[in-house]
Chain A
Amino acid sequence: QSVLTQPPSASGTPGQRVTISCSGSSSNIGSNYVYWYQHLPGTAPKLLIYRNNQRPSGVPDRFSGSKSGSSASLAISGLRSEDEADYYCAAWDDSLSGPVFGGGTKLTVL
Chain B
Amino acid sequence: EVQLLESGGGLLQPGGSLRLSCAASGFTFNNYAMNWVRQAPGKGLEWVSATSGSGGSTYYADSVKGRFTISRDNSKNTLYLQMNSLRAEDTAVYYCAKGTSYYYDSSTYYWDYWGQGTLVTVSS
Contacts and interface: CB of A to CB of B under 8 A. Distances in A.
Nearest to A103: B44
Contact of A88 (B44, B62, B117): B44
Contact of A101 (B46, B109, B117): B46
Interface residues of B, number: 22
A44 B47 contact: no
Contacts, number: 55
Contacts of A90: 45, 110
Contact of A45 (B45, B61, B106): B45
A33 B117 CA distance: 26
A47 interface: yes
Contact-residue size bin, chain A (C-beta under 8 Å from the other chain): 20 to 34
B95 interface: yes
A44 B113 CA distance: 8
A44 B109 CA distance: 18
B59 interface: yes
Interface string A2-13: 100000000000
Contacts of A33: 107, 110
Contact of B112 (A47, A94, A99): A47
B4 interface: yes
Nearest to A35: B110
Interface of A: 2, 32-33, 35, 37, 39, 42-47, 50, 56, 88, 90, 92, 94, 96, 98-104
7 contacts: A33-B110, A45-B97, A47-B110, A50-B110, A88-B44, A99-B109, A103-B43
Interface of B: 4, 43-47, 59, 61-62, 95, 97, 106-107, 109-117
